[in-house]
Amino acid sequence: MNKAKEKILTIFPDLNEQQKNAIFETEGPLLIIAGPGTGKTLVLVLRTVYLILSGKAEPSEIILTTFTEKAAFELRDRISEIVRKLEVKIPLHELKIGTIHSLCDFFISKYVACTPIKKNYVILDDLTQQLFVYEHFEEIIGDKFIDRWKSKWERIKRLIPYLNKITEELIDLEKLKSGNVFHKKLAKAYLIYRNKLFENNKIDFPHLQKIFLDLLLNKEIYLKIRQKIKYIMIDEYQDTNYIQERIAFRLSQPDYNLCVVGDEDQALYRFRGATVRNILEFPKHFDDCKIIKLEKNYRSHPKIISAYSNFINSVNWRDENKNYYRYPDKKVIPAETTESQEYPAIFCIWGADKKDEVDRIVNLVEFLKKNGTIKDYSDVAILLKSVRLNHSGHYINAFKKHNIPYFCPRARAYFENEEIKLLLACYAIIFGFYAKDLNRYEEKKYIEEGIHHLGKYLNSALKDYLRRKADQILSLREGESLNLTVSDYFYQILAYKPFSDFLKDENKARNFSIFSQLLNAFQVYYHISIVTFKNKDVIKYLLFNSFFNFLIQGGMDEYEDPDNPVPKGFVQIMTIHQSKGLEFPVVIVGSLHKIFQAQKQIDRDLTEFYPRGRFEPENRITEFDRTRHFYVAFSRAQKLLVLTTPEKPKEYFSPIWEGLEQWPYVKRELLKAQKFKSKPPFIPKKFYSLSSHINVYETCPMQYLFYREYKFQPSRAGQILFGTLVHQTIEDIHRMVLDGKKREIDEIEIEKFFEENYKSLLATGLRPLAKTPKESALKQVITYFKQNQDLLERIVETEVDVSVEKEDYIIVGKVDLLLGKDEKLEILDFKTQPRADYDDLLIEKYRKQLCLYAYIIKERYGKMPERLYIYWTSEERRKDALMELNYNEDLIQEAGLHFDNVVKKIKERKFDVKIKPDVNKVCKDCDFRFYCSMQGIIKFKGDW
């Protein structure tokens, strides 16, 4: 036995044989079929550790992808924890762990010059993708699909899944053009859409993958990427699509050290383009694929395992041609260590109607909590097909009535919150959206209710503010404008009661943050800057009749912490999709009486153009998807599984439903005697950036709270644009030097870089610079280039990502420039403001930052940097621009303790402003200057 294997088995002596095989089988293609609760996360973690400890790969040569960022963080932290137990020093920051999308993004950023997009590209999410198509509606859609879909927004929503599918399935557009009339229109719309994306330096998630695949198909780039990768592991392989399979196979050629992990029984994401085909056909692509099945379940009570196994085995997974859509001889069995006390571990609730059903659920939850069977309300999860209010409302209302705290952020009920209705009302008053406008408005109830709530504040400063702002807009004359954006009004409104009080409530503050992001999206995609005489009515109608109307009708989710999706103290109400990867002591599964529909129309329309053709028979897809869906739901339960319905469940649930006892007619005394233990939720270590976290907190804790913690979107970002523009153009110079092209750099080339960066930064939504600041930014770059030819000769690396993992957080940063000569290293950091004096507090802040960088560079390169420099680019003479900062080991240690202290304050949520900031430096461009002024934190004078 090798030493690496011995170490792992010493720390984890209870691994079963299947798990050991999966961990130590490293060469060639491997499929791990991991049933629910069989410890696949531990297997992936230990497999990664083994590859490193055994010397088979460096951390930088391993790729590990999973379905969500949170799952990726969990893998990262658990690997780190095990490495610490093993007492070995490994540069884990070099591991490539993330989602497939983040992997694509990583490599595209590295080789962006070889793609159809540029630096600063924007990745569209579901909302912004729809807004992007709206922005270019006439060119992309126009009247092309009016015979199929009627309204503008319906055409946008219905078309986008087709556009995504064309990319994900790598459909040949020439073949699509040869199809029927609809196909021809689709091909035309797709071509325009793709061109518009690239013109605007934006990409959707499918194109993120397509561009990465194209890089891999470029032989020169492929060799550069591939030479640094030895092993690839892909989790949740059952939920991958065709383009992701192509990426995996190309990336792992020629040795195919590719390990995929998944379970076709838990495939959920057909509606997102995923296909169970990838996992079922994986072994057929190789001559020597090994298959390992993880079958021992460490999660659920044996009765629960037996019940959901009967359910999935009740389906005939063969079609009429004897093709099998599930691996044969599959089983899930209780692990030897699984507790199996005798109590009713599975029963049902069959209400006479919705009220009776929820009354019984409330009674059950109260019984479990009162008797200590569960310790916390979060030990209970209600899983539904959908949690929109028409599906979850009766559960929510019952919990409210009985004072049982619940958490259901995806009920699409964002606009039902009082504070949001109040905001809508304020905007309606400011822009004059009432009377006839309001009477004709489809969603007028939200504004009317908001105006009704505003009645409580009629004798307040808010009323005067709203009247004043409405009058300003009304009194605009031809050619006049106000130096106010749509977002500016939002931040001014927050200064007044009741909004200033709402800001002290975290949930309401986070809802306001979402509103700020929505307003920013409106300004970007509707091309609205400041309010003018010419656009004041346009803003009014676009904001309400188009934007808010679209959002309200589609529904919006409320905030949920991506790092902690199961907050303590609340009964969880979530979709079955949300529950994937989670487990709960008590699971209540509903939607058993609802009709289950699977997405089939897009495949029906496009299958003939898929390179692989059809897979599952169309007439079996609903049955297959429904069974997998509820199998996932049932298998989330650890100790207690409850099936609930207000009416007779559908016939296909009879294999799990028949013969179940009904609550409250179960052996309650046995249940009462149980004390269910839940695992503490995994909370990943947070990243804290030296520039965007530590520096912001030290500048103003309040700014940190609003912009970093709550993620409010700034209304204006001119200063950010200036600094980023200078930094990125200087980086372009450095990259040219590193590529051996120093002789090709001249002022014309620099100006070309500068303009490309400027254009791509504006496309992200930043406001343009005035002529003078823009000229100043370019001058700073050219002056730097002219005066530092000797520095350029000594470049080792540029934009070096650095990180230090602490016990409970990770600090990250970026070294602007690493210089070297004669085995000596130097660090240089660029600042675009005028040079500060040595005794300025700012210098001490920068010294600490650079000291930490020096420590990390020493760890990475094995030698301590000789010198630390700040380069002030606004200074015209090099001797003024280049500032050396003295440092030593004591200062490095002091810097580390300082950052620990700052992070401690952040984690303890100490956001009060103790020392009044310099209003002219810190506050003048801060959106919260109005709020802070009204709170008495600062004195800010201005016309607002």
277: domain CATH number is 3.40.50.300
Cβ-proximal residues to 179 (8 Å cutoff; 6+ apart), any chain: 187, 608, 609
Residue 574 reports pLDDT greater than 80: yes
DSSP per residue over 11-34, as a string? H-TT--HHHHHHHH--SS-EEEEE
Question: Does 299 reside within a domain?
Answer: no
Residue 720 reports pLDDT greater than 80: no
Residue 710 reports pLDDT greater than 80: yes
Residue 290 reports pLDDT greater than 70: yes
Domain end call among 520, 554, 588: 554
Model confidence, pTM: 0.93
The arithmetic mean of pLDDT across residues 820-829, rounded, is 92
**Three-class secondary structure of residue 710 per DSSP:** coil
Question: Does 695 reside within a domain?
Answer: no
Question: Where does 836-942 have alpha helices with state H?
Answer: 841-861, 878-881, 889-907, 929-934
Burial environment of residue 276 by CB neighbours within 10 A (0 to 12, 13 to 18, 19 or more): buried
Q: What is the DSSP letter of 766?
A: P
User: In angstroms, rounded to a whole number, what is the distance separating the alpha carbons of residues 494 and 491?
Assistant: 5
The arithmetic mean of pLDDT across residues 130-141, rounded, is 97
User: In angstroms, rounded to a whole number, what is the distance separating the alpha carbons of residues 767 and 720?
Assistant: 9
Tens of pLDDT, residues 231-282: 999 999 999 999 999 999 999 999 999 999 999 999 999 988 899 999 999 9
What is the number of structural domains in the chain?
6
Residues 449 and 481 occupy one common structural domain: yes
Total residue length of the chain: 944
Cβ(20)–Cβ(296) below 8 Å: no
pLDDT at 767: 81
Question: Does 326 reside within a domain?
Answer: no
Residue 427 reports pLDDT greater than 70: yes
pLDDT at 645: 98
* Residue with more model confidence, 368 or 807: 368
pLDDT at 719: 60
The arithmetic mean of pLDDT across residues 369-384, rounded, is 98
Q: Give me the residue label for tokens 């992309």.
A: 140
Cα-based distances in Å from 28 to 2, 280, 472: 20, 18, 71
Residue 748 reports pLDDT greater than 90: yes
Residues 464 and 528 occupy one common structural domain: yes
**Three-class secondary structure of residue 636 per DSSP:** coil
Residue 459 reports pLDDT greater than 90: no
Tens of pLDDT, residues 476-514: 999 999 999 999 999 999 999 999 999 999 999 999 999
Residues 441 and 544 occupy one common structural domain: yes
Residues 785 and 822 occupy one common structural domain: no
Identity of the amino acid at 562: P
Residues 99 and 129 occupy one common structural domain: no
Residue 810 reports pLDDT greater than 80: yes
Cβ(569)–Cβ(376) below 8 Å: yes
Band of residue 458 on the pLDDT scale cut at 50, 70, 90: confident
Domain end call among 531, 554, 577: 554
Q: Which of 229, 234, 274, 279 shows the shortest CA–CA distance to 252?
A: 229
Residues 224 and 87 occupy one common structural domain: yes
pLDDT at 678: 87
User: In angstroms, rounded to a whole number, what is the distance separating the alpha carbons of residues 52 and 233?
Assistant: 14
Which residues in 302-336 are b (16+ Cβ under 10 Å) and which e?
Answer: ebbbbbbbebbeebebeeeeeeebbbeebebebbe
The arithmetic mean of pLDDT across residues 73-102, rounded, is 91
pLDDT at 718: 58
Domain end call among 523, 554, 585: 554
* Residue with more model confidence, 765 or 603: 603
Residue 72 reports pLDDT greater than 70: yes
Tens of pLDDT, residues 338-358: 878 899 999 999 999 999 999
Question: Does 858 reside within a domain?
Answer: yes
Residues 102 and 221 occupy one common structural domain: yes
Band of residue 619 on the pLDDT scale cut at 50, 70, 90: very high
By DSSP bridging, strand 867-872 and strand 809-821 are unpaired
Residues 223 and 138 occupy one common structural domain: no
Residues 353 and 226 occupy one common structural domain: no
Tens of pLDDT, residues 530-572: 999 999 999 999 999 999 999 999 999 999 998 888 999 999 9
What percentage of the chain has pLDDT greater than the value 70? 99
User: In angstroms, rounded to a whole number, what is the distance separating the alpha carbons of residues 22 and 335?
Assistant: 17
Q: Which of 214, 206, 211 shows the shortest CA–CA distance to 240?
A: 206
Note down the domain range covering 498. 416-554
Q: What is the DSSP letter of 547?
A: I
Band of residue 1 on the pLDDT scale cut at 50, 70, 90: low
Identity of the amino acid at 306: S
> Which helix (H) or strand (E) element contains residue 758?
helix 747-762
pLDDT at 780: 98
Question: Does 305 reside within a domain?
Answer: no
Question: Does 682 reside within a domain?
Answer: no
Tens of pLDDT, residues 154-190: 999 999 999 999 999 999 999 999 999 999 999 999 9
Q: Which of 523, 432, 512 shows the shortest CA–CA distance to 471?
A: 432
pLDDT at 944: 65
Tens of pLDDT, residues 513-534: 999 999 999 999 999 989 999 9
Q: Which of 60, 65, 41, 54 shows the shortest CA–CA distance to 9?
A: 54
For 24-75, list the strands marked E by DSSP: 30-34, 62-66
Residues 620 and 645 occupy one common structural domain: yes
Question: Does 249 reside within a domain?
Answer: yes
Residues 534 and 506 occupy one common structural domain: yes
Structure tokens at 803: 């990180």
Query: What are the backbone dihedrals phi and psi of residue 34, each rounded to the nearest 5 degrees, phi first?
Result: -110, 105
Average pLDDT, the chain: 94
Which residues in 648-685 are b (16+ Cβ under 10 Å) and which e?
Answer: ebeebbebbbeebeebeebeeeebeebebebeeeeebb
Residue 917 reports pLDDT greater than 90: no
Residues 431 and 543 occupy one common structural domain: yes
User: In angstroms, rounded to a whole number, what is the distance separating the alpha carbons of residues 681 and 689?
Assistant: 25
Question: Does 117 reside within a domain?
Answer: no
